[in-house]
Amino acid sequence: MLIRQTVLYLPAQLLGPLAQLVAIVLWTHWLDPDAFGLFTLAMAAQEAVYLLLLSFWSYFLLRFLPSADTALRQRMDVIETRLFLANAMLQAAALLMLMRYVMHEWPSRELLVVLFAFSFTRSYCTHLAERARADGIVGTYTVLQTVGPVVGLLIGVLWASLVPVEPMHVLASYAIAQTISLILALPKLRVNFRLQAADPATLHHAYRYGLPLAASGLLAWVPGNGSRFVVEHELGIAAVGMFSVGWTLGQRACSFAAMLVTAAAFPLALRLEASGARDRAMHQLSLNGVLLCSVLLPTVAGLILLTPALTKVAVSEPYVAVTLQILPLAALAGLVKNLRSHFANQAFLLAQKTNWTLALDILETLLFLIGAAVGLRTLGVVGAAWGALIAVSVGALLAFAIAIGRLKMPFPGRHLLRIVLATAVMSLALSVLPPLTGWMQLLAAVALGGLVYIATLALGYRGHLGKLRTL
């Protein structure tokens, strides 16, 4: 079932993140460090606004919508209608204040309108995609996950080929594409907007479950995306542009690898838990984690080993030197962050221990702020990356210790040993290659590493291949 669901969700998990990775590379060739820094700050600001204002409801729906009866769905629709209306005003105010802080002046009316359109449409694409995933509507989930980043990139490239492109043009391209995805997806979703009085008990339940997770997400955003704001505060917006290329590539690559296999995984555990099979649900989380590690570990190892070749052929010259230093650290931080988010933290979600996640994220954020402040003053922009890596590593270690020790999530030691061994063999094969030049040699190295990894992993699972073929 896990493999089948993963395959169904694969197009959504492949196309959107891949387009985001390509976009980061392309925009380095069309935007100077100041403009690129502003663009990435706008992206980070949108994610913060979503986490602050809407994510608690997304978390609640993902957890409780699959088991909701008709009456509860109606109560949810009433609350969602009110949230949609309130968020329009709150997002505009939050974005205005954030951009005032970043730009040190009030943004122009045109920029504010574009920022609002981009943020509003992206937030609701994210939220409604989670709703579609909770309901098992794979086609709609795919539309919401892919049309925005793919079509937005195409519009942006077309725009850049006609006129000198600015950050506002790039954001407008994505806003147009995200609007298209919402128009396509909304008729397929079972959402009935209702202007009625909200049920206090349901709303209280949503706050009690979702707000700690939203706070945790916002705190987890600090090491992952808030680092850009820390860099801007200390070194200016051009430094953000230099920092963001390597950092975003590393983070996006890990998210891309993780999302290939995570979209379908958690709902399976939820269905088992809803049927009363709590032990089987925890075992499912452990298997989900194995699948996650099977794609994350080789991805990060290969990315680190191929950083010099990738940076030199893909990134514009002004960004190369800093990217060479930051990309490996970003990949490691992305590995740790995704293992915690999509493995250890899901045990907390299943057990409804969201306050534990919040406590760990508070600790992680404090460690990051201290580490980034010290790192920036001693190592420059690279120090911010070190601060984030140390902070997320401490948080992840504690999260796994609690999930395995207190919540009794099985530790898949034998599976992880096979994956680590296959990753090590792949790394050895890549490390003996001569220096790579050009895209063809780089792609050949990626193909070689993938083949070596898959062959070694297949050898480790040779006793299971017959069953997998049957599935």
Domain range annotation of the chain: 2-411
Please give the helix or strand (H or E) that residue 313 lies within, else none: helix 307-314
What's the distance, Cα to Cα, between the start and end of the chain in Å? 8
pLDDT at 104: 66
Contact 32, 245 (CB under 8 A): no
For the cut 50, the answer to whether the pLDDT of residue 374 exceeds it is yes
CA distances from 326 to 15, 232, 313, 320, 394 (A): 25, 16, 16, 10, 20
State residue 190 phi and psi, 5-degree precision: -85, 65
More confident: 9 or 315: 315
Mean pLDDT confidence for 399-413: 86
Mean pLDDT confidence for 400-428: 89
pLDDT at 452: 94
Q: Using only the alpha carbons of the chain, give its radius of gyration.
A: 22
Q: How confident is the model at residue 397 (pLDDT cuts 50, 70, 90)?
A: very high
More confident: 89 or 324: 324
Minimum mean pLDDT range among 89-98, 341-350, 398-407, 412-421? 89-98
Region label for 391, one of left (φ > 0), alpha (ψ between -120 and 50) or beta (otherwise) = alpha
Mean pLDDT confidence for 223-237: 75
Q: How confident is the model at residue 7 (pLDDT cuts 50, 70, 90)?
A: low
> Could you report the per-residue pLDDT of 340-361, keeping only the tens digit for each?
888 888 888 777 777 788 888 8
For the cut 60, the answer to whether the pLDDT of residue 3 exceeds it is no
pLDDT at 1: 55
Contact 80, 127 (CB under 8 A): no
Q: How confident is the model at residue 456 (pLDDT cuts 50, 70, 90)?
A: very high
CA distances from 225 to 41, 127, 217, 283 (A): 8, 19, 11, 32
Question: Residue 470: how many CA atoms within 13 Å on its side-chain side?
Answer: 4
For the cut 50, the answer to whether the pLDDT of residue 471 exceeds it is no
For the cut 70, the answer to whether the pLDDT of residue 55 exceeds it is yes
Q: CA-CA distance, 371 to 428, in Å (whole number)?
A: 32
Contact 370, 332 (CB under 8 A): no
Q: How many other CB atoms are there within 10 angstroms of residue 462's CB atom? A: 9
More confident: 144 or 262: 144
